[in-house]
Amino acid sequence: MGDVMQQAYFITGTDTDVGKTFVTCLLLENIKRSGRNCFGLKPIAAGAIVTKEGLMNDDAQALLRQGSVALEYHDVNPICLQPAIAPHIAASLAGIQLRVSDLVANCRASIKKGLMVDTKAVTLIEGAGGWHVPVGASEFLSDMVIELQLPVILVIGMKLGCLNHAKLTVDAIESSGLRLAGWVANQVSPEKMPFFEENISAIKELIYAPCLGIVPYSPSAAISDVAHQLDIDNLN
């Protein structure tokens, strides 16, 4: 991992519900085990519960707990929307206009706050849904990543269609001029998809970036028990 800004990565997925948060938490755990501080950010989250402190999203709370740099919830998740639907639709229902420029500013502010604790801390920024999630009129979450020039880690949900989704996502990342730092295969259902190993081999042929690990289906497992499935030394 390079200098301060290069110690930030964006985690995207081939689709929604492919395990981005779980994988991000596994990555954070591995970073801590390597002796470095780290924190996770969720710039925008749709799907929240009302608390006395305001709206809170489960994924953002998981990132907050897993990081080793103390941040406030709002630093981790500046924009929290209640309905678990596409962010731009949830924002419209709430009377909020999403702008990529605001997302960029929020990320920079949160990263700056985290680095005030440790200038060498690693930042993992988790997206919402897949790569080209709309955030407003002709703007996409991927535009934020391009503006911040973040290397990308791709979480591939291992199910029928994943080869196509993975290749399309990688092509989109590359066409944006961004670097794919690595990918993680995540088993998203109790039963492995047919020809699981053959699909893994096919992905390795399709994607030049290193495989950081293959995560078994483990919805109730502790992060500490699964973290060994990943190898961050392979980060590109």
Catalytic residues: 42
Contact 192, 158 (CB under 8 A): yes
Report in angstroms the alpha-carbon separations of 167 from 36, 78, 152, 185. Answer: 32, 31, 14, 13
With a CB cutoff of 8 Å and minimum separation 6, the contacts of 232 are 27, 30, 31, 34, 212
What does the chain come to in residues?
236
Name the strand (E) or helix (H) holding 127. strand 122-130
Cβ atoms within 10 A of the Cβ of 156, count? 28
